[in-house]
């Protein structure tokens, strides 16, 4: 298939400016003063700069955190359902601006239209969810061992939540954290990826509007456009009790100990190296579709992207035949083009890591069955469009055990389920996993305590594309954090245990006698 061409740079720039203005981004937020710090907003569609936007330095962080802390002091006593009103308005604004926000997601992160719209929908969904949660910040009441006493817990707002986000979910990750943190009574300071400043400006402007319209305190949300040093200053700030950081394991390895050193809390959402087991009884048609979406979708740039396939030796040949055929038909090219399924990698560094990983896989005895090449796309000389690759490996070698953030699917085979689970869990990361099977015993074993060791364990579904209602996150080097649904809101609050004595006597716990 010929790669779909990319529109001219001027047209892309116009699309970006139109979207930013529609979201209410002020002109001064786009104007860089002479000699002032700035960030280059590049589109990965062409690799060229769209705009240059003002940036902050590490010295500016404390001022933004102070303003957010000040806002927190009134926000924390605002009733939670009233706080929900702010997030409800944010959700409406995101909904009204869904199309233009998706334009920005495509320009900066390279997502195809349906995935860009899907990411914006995720923001809207999480706002709905958070509004519901604003009336359900439940604490438990436990039976006290003493007569005339009440034992209970209350959940209180925590303070300023620092949010550090990755390029590949430039808006969803922010909304997961912010919508929940805001209903929990926290304020938020956001350090987005330096690769996606425009989506951040747009979301931030919409939240500022919701804050103004609902009378919430100004300063409740702060945006820090800047590089890693800005993230580091946020991480070190003593006024930030929780740092929620999404990105590579390398980043988390730095952030976790720094936050811990000042006894702050961190919520880490780091790299994955996700696998699916395909058993002898699997529906190969269903599995093929799920695998292709999970492995090649988003050009392999999801934390939940399927990177390893562990296939029963009796079905490996027919499955690979289907997968190779499907990969050969994948439409690659401009994500703005209707019908494209695979857009670009984010930048040259990402492309280099893709080719290096393939080279290492070959050296380790791997056979590239399909893909691996770079596609020239008209109008995008510095855009990195690649053919998603499938590599059959003789063993789970070092390169297979690492996360390469690009579309490479390594295939291994197994004969017993124990062997498959051992291979599955034999990597440092623990985010998402799946099993394709029609055998209930195999499915149950995979989700049991001695099955998959991941935070997300699916049956007859690929590894990517989680719903917001569940808790999202992973184990081991994925960092252990949980965000979005279920009881993840608790990470954004502090718990107080209260004992109330209404007996008129002083009774000590455990029958202790004193005085």
Residues that bind ligand NAD (CB under 6 A): 164-169, 191, 193-194, 228, 231-232, 235, 246-248, 251, 254-255, 269-272, 303, 403, 405, 431, 478
Task: Kindly report the number of other CB atoms within 10 A of residue 39's CB atom.
Answer: 21
In angstroms, the CA 89 to CA 243 distance is 25
Taking the alpha carbons at both ends of the chain, their separation in whole angstroms is: 87
Q: Give the DSSP H/E element, type plus range, for residue 203.
A: helix 197-214
Residues forming a β-bridge with 411: 309, 392
- State which residue, 60 or 232, has the beta carbon closest to ligand NAD: 232
In angstroms, the CA 494 to CA 125 distance is 25
505-514 burial, b if ≥16 CB within 10 A, otherwise e?
Answer: eeeeeeeeee
Q: Shortest distance, CB of residue 482 to ligand NAD, whole angstroms?
A: 10
The DSSP bridge pattern shows strands 367-370 and 389-392 to be: antiparallel
Sign of CA dihedral 443, 445, 448, 452: negative
- State which residue, 157 or 252, has the beta carbon closest to ligand NAD: 252
Exactly one of 23, 184, 203, 303 is catalytic; which is it?
303
| Whether residue 454 lies in the annotated active site | no
Q: How far is CA 272 from the centre of its chain?
A: 11
Q: Shortest distance, CB of residue 11 to ligand NAD, whole angstroms?
A: 27
| Whether residue 303 lies in the annotated active site | yes
Q: Shortest distance, CB of residue 251 to ligand NAD, whole angstroms?
A: 3
- State which residue, 125 or 442, has the beta carbon closest to ligand NAD: 125
Q: Shortest distance, CB of residue 106 to ligand NAD, whole angstroms?
A: 17
Q: Shortest distance, CB of residue 55 to ligand NAD, whole angstroms?
A: 12
DSSP code per residue over 230-292: HHHHHHH-TT-SEEEEES-HHHHHHHHHHHHHTT-EEEEE----EEEEE-TT--HHHHHHHHH
Exactly one of 269, 387, 477, 483 is catalytic; which is it?
269
Catalytic residues: 269, 303
């Amino acid at each position: 298939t010929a790669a779909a061409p990319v529109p001219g740079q001027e047209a892309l720039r116009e699309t970006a400016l139109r979207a930013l203005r529609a979201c209410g981004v002020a002109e001064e937020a786009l104007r860089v003063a002479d000699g002032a710090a700035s960030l280059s907003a590049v589109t990965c569609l062409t690799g060229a700069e769209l705009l240059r936007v003002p940036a902050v330095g590490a010295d500016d962080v404390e001022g933004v955190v102070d303003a957010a802390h000040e806002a927190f002091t009134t926000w924390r006593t605002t009733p939670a359902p009233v706080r929900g009103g702010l997030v409800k308005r944010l959700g409406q604004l995101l909904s009204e601006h869904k199309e233009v926000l998706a334009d920005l997601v495509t320009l900066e992160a390279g997502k195809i239209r349906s995935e860009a719209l899907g990411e914006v929908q995720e923001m809207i969904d999480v706002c709905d969810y958070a509004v519901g949660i604003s009336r359900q910040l439940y604490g438990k009441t436990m039976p006290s061992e003493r007569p005339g006493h009440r034992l209970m817990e209350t959940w209180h707002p925590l303070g300023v939540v620092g949010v550090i986000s990755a390029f590949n979910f430039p808006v969803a990750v922010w909304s997961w954290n912010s919508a929940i943190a805001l209903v929990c009574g926290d304020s938020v300071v956001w350090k987005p990826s330096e690769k996606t400043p425009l989506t951040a400006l747009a979301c931030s402007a919409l939240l500022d509007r919701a804050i103004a319209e609902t009378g919430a305190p100004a300063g409740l949300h702060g945006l820090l456009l800047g590089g890693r040093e800005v993230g580091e200053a946020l991480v070190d700030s003593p006024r930030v009790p929780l740092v929620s950081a999404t990105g590579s394991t390398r980043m988390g390895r730095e952030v976790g100990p720094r936050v811990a050193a000042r006894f702050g809390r961190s919520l880490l959402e780091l790299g994955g190296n996700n696998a699916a087991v395909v058993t002898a009884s699997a529906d190969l048609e269903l599995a093929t579709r799920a695998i292709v979406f999970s492995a090649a979708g988003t050009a392999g740039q999801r934390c939940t992207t399927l990177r390893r396939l562990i296939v029963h030796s009796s079905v490996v040949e027919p499955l690979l035949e289907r997968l190779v055929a499907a990969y050969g038909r994948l439409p690659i090219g401009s994500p703005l083009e209707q019908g494209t399924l695979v857009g670009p990698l984010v930048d040259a560094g990402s492309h280099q890591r893709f080719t290096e990983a393939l080279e290492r896989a070959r050296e380790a005895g791997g056979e590239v069955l399909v893909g691996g090449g770079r596609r020239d796309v008209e109008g995008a000389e510095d855009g990195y469009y690649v053919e998603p690759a499938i590599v059959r490996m003789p063993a789970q070698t070092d390169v297979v055990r690492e996360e390469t953030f690009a579309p490479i699917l390594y295939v291994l085979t197994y004969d017993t389920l124990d062997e498959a689970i051992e291979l599955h869990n034999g990597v440092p990361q623990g985010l998402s996993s799946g099993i394709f099977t029609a055998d209930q015993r195999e499915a149950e074993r995979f989700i049991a305590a001695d099955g998959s060791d991941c935070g997300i364990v699916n049956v007859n579904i690929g590894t990517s594309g989680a719903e917001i209602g569940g808790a999202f996150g992973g184990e081991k080097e994925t960092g252990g954090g949980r965000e979005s649904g279920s009881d993840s809101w608790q990470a954004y609050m502090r718990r107080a245990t209260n004992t109330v004595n209404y007996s008129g006597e002083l009774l000590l716990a455990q029958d202790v006698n004193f005085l």
